[in-house]
Amino acid sequence: MGTEGQTDLRRQRNYLDMTWWDPYVADIADVDTYLRRKFRQDVTDRTTGLSQEGVAKRLSEIVAAGKASGEPWRVTKARCFAAEALEQAIDVSPLDWFPAIAIWDRLSLPIWKVTKRDRAAEVNARMLSAEVVGEWQAGNRDGTWNIWQDFDHSVPDWRVILSLGFPGMKARLERHAVAGDPFYEGLRIAMDAMLGGIERFAAQGRKRLGRIPRGDAGAQRLEKEVACLERLKSDPPQTAYDVMMFVWLYFFFSEHLDGIQCRSLTEIDVTLTPYYDADRAAGRTTEAEFREQLRHFFCQWGSVANYWNQPVGLGGTRKDGASEYNHVSRIVLDVMDDCALATPKFLAKVAPNTPGWAWDKMLDMARRHRSIAFIGEEPTARALKKWSGASDDDCRTMVVKGCYEFALRDAVNDTAVGHVNFLKPIETMLEEVGVQSSSSRMENSALQLQLKTPTKFQFETFSSFKTEYLRRLADVTDRCRKVAFELEKVLPEVNPANCMTLATEHSLKVRCDGFANGCPRGNDTAILAVGLGTAVDSLLAVKELVYEENMPLPELGKIMAANWEGHEALRRRMLRSKRKWGNNDAAANALGAELIDCFAAQLNGKPNSRGGVFLASGHCARQYIVLGEKTGATPDGRRRGEEMSKNLSPTMGVDTEGATALVATLAASDVTKLPGDYPLDMMLHPSVCAGDKGLVAMRSLVEIFHRNGGSVIQFTVFSAEELRDAQAHPERYESLQVRVCGWNVRWNDLCKAEQDAYIRRAENVMKGY
Amino acid sequence: MKMTRKEFIAVSAAYAACGPLTVASAAGRAAKTPLMLDTKRMAIHDGPGIRTTFFVKGCPLKCIWCHNPESIDVKPQTARFRHLCRNCAKCTMDEATCPTRALKFYGKPMTIDEIVAKALEDKAFYDESGGGVTLSGGEPLFFWEWAAELFAAFKKAGLHTCLDTSLYAPPAAIDALLPVTDLWLPDYKADDDALHVKYTGVSNGAIKKNLERLVAAKAKLEVRCLVVPGCTDGDDIVARHRYLDSIGIPESSIVNLEYYDYARSKYLALGMKDTMPPKRENEGG
């Protein structure tokens, strides 16, 4: 690839007007480099339109004009979309099977400024009560929760829109549109802009093609790319490459231009198989060409800076019960393995019918740091069925919609809005008893008046302490749900979805926003648990110290207030206690189940404001760090501000009983209580995964986790020695990835403090063996 | 396997009367219950599938390359890892609260019921992967009557059993363990008896007889041949394979193991003389 790429680049520089690429292009050495940087810098032909900054200015003008004319916001948003699609600079490079766009920098998308920032501030001020805003912001400020208006976790019903193509989507819109209705007027503007945008790409391709000698590898790519874009203007996708191009177009239209996440690139092997087989039968492509197209396809997301990794589904079960893993799955896995990208990441559906070769290949990739997680089809379908009431067949075809989340394929416009800090109730209880004790002679002090429970803190038994904790956890969760309920009422007013609405026939029928509330099923809202493991450990520490060793509760409160200062030996003892979540300790397991029950009872099945329901979720993204920074010391030995446990995993360093105990811990709870998702991150030492025996061990862990109801399991495999070497010699570890949460990051992208934290985790891995 | 200081003192007192074990005294002590050194869950290199490996404390051999020197003495021991120790002015003398984990207590009593209960925690993993439990050490056959009782309990609980042993034991030990051991993992450390004596402190005569006894009993075997550069490499490894072949052990049941000298800090921490030969690059198995 490297040599060919360099040749391509030299040719391109000779044939094309490249002045606008300087100084960037000077250091692009080959195709791979071009693909890696494609969404890290502007690689478009500036003569074709506006830069990202130029687009941002243009959108400001459109919004101002819309306000002045008093047109509905949905129409204004659609005009913004159209300006982006039709006025941004673009290019179609012979180095790449897919187009380039000026709106490349997703960290400052122009549409986000217009919607998530400016419009949200305006709408929230106008439509939310001061009480709701006050509650929301106070909780965010003090770390009780973190709540935001979420525009993520949507996925179109790929099966349907691939069968329609863009022209079919337009025809469907026309069937449902009501004349003069601004809802449909906006959608028409957006739909026409999509088709216009595709024509622009095709025209740019034709322009480039006219200046490259026929027979050149880049010219051959361009010819096929232009032909593909021409087809997509008039027909649904016909070939495997058309499908990839369609997904590419929809994704960037929705995410970069419309500001609504598209959280899946389809169940890629299942989707591509019939097209690829037909291509091969008709002699339209070769395996080598298909592999190159796939490689370029994946590299697009390898370049896009979305820290959560772009999910893509893999495998599954056919209606006749056979596995979906096939010859295309092999190619897809080979290409992803060869690319060694942190993103996209595979969420591989596995079941008893999954063939051995697929297990071995995927587990081998996982132990070599490839971005892949394993979802148990049966347990995930069971949880989906319980909460959606869907049929077995619906559950069979569930689709990926997030880091670990799955949903029915026609019901994916879910949100992840609130993150509840499980440590806050303990922190406040101990803070209050500590203050109560130290200020007992300060009658009517201002501080005492602020206390929510300023009377007695005489929890005679651990049971009464735990009951109060659970009461507070339930209260916090309930309040979080209520705030989320109010915040989500205004989603379509903030960021009405063009692409997702056009992709969802039900939305068109019932005239509801495709993202906010227009899916036939779904429209659900996840509230996420943060710090479950550390909360369990902390409650057990209270039990041990106060109710078994007779330390006065106020004394423990003072120690927490002092951030363990002067009590280091005690802190270490608590940190090293065996009674921790993750060690398959019966008391910890039972307590964890109680916490999950309490959390779930406040959420599951309760209606949200979008026509769906709330769902309790077991993963917490980066909030274990964010909320950890806002949380005081806890009795498990954690210091103020330190991170708490991540997802359903144990607190870092305390799961000393190893991987099997960790799996058994999670298996001990009723996983259907967390229908949002139920993931397990597992760090393994390379020695446990080495050789054929390692593959057997990893597969056993996955299968037992799934058999006991767990949904997604993912591995991070490396040794502390390897990481120390990587820290000392970053140049040798360009491709090393580590798992952060539901996503991988490149090791070299982490700061030293984060790298140190990973090294500590890896050191801990050995304790269990 | 962590203990509090109080527990460790109690265990130490119970073993205070024990003198250094000798080979001659091994048979007499065999009925005794060993202290346990460690429990390794999700072990994948100690037999088939996912296993839990239990390590006993006490071994009649004195292999100069021993990578578990804490497993030689039957008595409880304290180790202080110098590279971790901060020399705190007021040492906690307690493994549980040492701030740098420099202090370690070795040797914890466990009843057979406790061991079986621990093993059963991972039964689902054994069943899924074709794994089970492995007894290692130290030398499990140093406590062969206890080991036979433990393995009988494992079998009663439906667990696959592996025995990791030097085979330096009386024939009665082999006979006692044969009915309850699914897979034997014996070492064959050196074929040349002079070398065996030099590097392990004992003759290989009894070991060879026990190997032959196992072959005669059609026991399932995986013989492990550690290749220690400069000690038991070269001609001796060839001789070991030749001998094993001569008694009917196929090549597929023999594994050469590479030597690593990664235990030096433990010798230092235990106050023992570091006898480990150097690891030489590009040598070994």
| Region A280-288 average pLDDT | 97
Residue among A578, A693, A704 minimizing CB distance to B125: A704
Please check the confidence at residue A444 and state whether its pLDDT lies above 60.
no
Please check the confidence at residue A445 and state whether its pLDDT lies above 60.
no
* Lowest mean pLDDT across A313-317, A505-509, B82-86: B82-86
Q: How close A762 gets to chain B, by Cα (Å)?
A: 16
Please check the confidence at residue A12 and state whether its pLDDT lies above 70.
no
Q: Is B258 in a helix, a strand, or coil?
A: strand
Contacting residues of B for A573, CB less than 8 Å apart: 96-97
| Region A205-210 average pLDDT | 91
- In sequence order, the β-bridge partners of residue B55 are B38, B136
pLDDT of B6 reads 78
Q: Inter-chain contact A696–B50, Cβ cutoff 8 Å?
A: yes
pLDDT tens, A691-715?
Answer: 898 999 999 999 999 998 889 998 8
pLDDT of A437 reads 54
Please check the confidence at residue A252 and state whether its pLDDT lies above 90.
yes
Please check the confidence at residue A125 and state whether its pLDDT lies above 90.
yes
| Predicted TM-score of the model (pTM) | 0.86
Could you tell me the domains of chain B? 5-270 (3.20.20.70)
Q: Is B221 in a helix, a strand, or coil?
A: strand
Rg over CA atoms, chain B:
19
Place of tokens 């000393």: A656
- In sequence order, the β-bridge partners of residue A528 are A419, A617
- Residues 6 or more apart whose CB falls under 8 angstroms from that of A38 comprise A96, A100, A104, A299, A300, A303
Inform me whether the C-beta atom of residue B130 falls under 8 Å from chain A C-beta atoms: yes
pLDDT of B25 reads 41
| Region A493-507 average pLDDT | 97
Please check the confidence at residue A766 and state whether its pLDDT lies above 70.
no
Q: A120 vs A43, which has greater pLDDT?
A: A120
What CA–CA distance (Å, rounded) separates A592 from A376? 22
Whether A448 contacts A439, CB under 8 Å: yes
Q: A187 vs A735, which has greater pLDDT?
A: A187
Q: What percent of chain A has pLDDT over 70?
A: 89
* Lowest mean pLDDT across A299-308, A341-350, A755-764, B178-187: A755-764
Inform me whether the C-beta atom of residue B2 falls under 8 Å from chain A C-beta atoms: yes
Q: What percent of chain A has pLDDT over 90?
A: 66
Give the DSSP letter string of A660-706: HHHHHHHHTS-GGG--S--EEEEEE-HHHH-HHHHHHHHHHHHHHHH
Q: Pick the closest to residue A508 from A265, A160, A120 (CA basis).
A: A160
Whether A764 contacts A756, CB under 8 Å: no
pLDDT tens, A590-647?
Answer: 999 999 999 999 999 999 999 999 999 998 888 998 999 999 999 999 999 999 998 8
pLDDT of B2 reads 65
pLDDT band with cut points at 50, 70 and 90 for residue A746: low
| Region A105-133 average pLDDT | 95
Rg over CA atoms, chain A:
27
Q: Pick the closest to residue B62 from B184, B214, B202 (CA basis).
A: B202
Q: A660-699 as b/e, with b when 16 or more CB fall inside 10 Å?
A: bbbbbbbbbbebbbbbbbbbbbbbbbbbbbeeebbbbbbb
> Cis before residue A23, ω within 30 degrees of 0?
yes
| Region A650-669 average pLDDT | 85
Q: A405 vs A60, which has greater pLDDT?
A: A60
| Region A480-509 average pLDDT | 97
pLDDT of B282 reads 44
Q: Looking at this protein, which amino acid is placed at residue B97?
A: T
| Region A19-25 average pLDDT | 38
Q: Pick the closest to residue A104 from A200, A20, A24, A39 (CA basis).
A: A39
pLDDT band with cut points at 50, 70 and 90 for residue A764: low
Q: Is the dihedral of CA A577, A583, A589, A593 positive or negative?
A: positive
Please check the confidence at residue A213 and state whether its pLDDT lies above 90.
no
pLDDT of A472 reads 97
pLDDT band with cut points at 50, 70 and 90 for residue A734: low
What CA–CA distance (Å, rounded) separates A712 from A632? 31
Residues of chain B with pLDDT under 50: 19-31, 282-285
pLDDT tens, B158-199?
Answer: 999 999 999 999 999 999 999 999 999 999 999 999 999 999
Contacting residues of B for A688, CB less than 8 Å apart: 42, 44
| Region A706-728 average pLDDT | 84
Inform me whether the C-beta atom of residue A471 falls under 8 Å from chain B C-beta atoms: no
Q: Where does B156-274 show beta strands of DSSP type E? A: 161-165, 183-186, 223-227, 254-258
Residue among B2, B43, B92 minimizing CB distance to A569: B92
pLDDT of A740 reads 59
The secondary structure element, H or E, covering residue B117 is helix B112-120
| Region A56-81 average pLDDT | 97
Inform me whether the C-beta atom of residue B40 falls under 8 Å from chain A C-beta atoms: yes
* Residue of A571, A572, A654 for testing the chain B interface, max B β-carbons within 10 Å: A572
Q: Inter-chain contact B2–A687, Cβ cutoff 8 Å?
A: no
Q: Inter-chain contact B42–A578, Cβ cutoff 8 Å?
A: no
Inform me whether the C-beta atom of residue A194 falls under 8 Å from chain B C-beta atoms: no
> Left if phi > 0, otherwise alpha if psi is -120 to 50, otherwise beta: which for A375?
beta
Please check the confidence at residue A452 and state whether its pLDDT lies above 60.
no
Q: Which of residues 579-618 of A touch B (CB under 8 A)?
A: 584
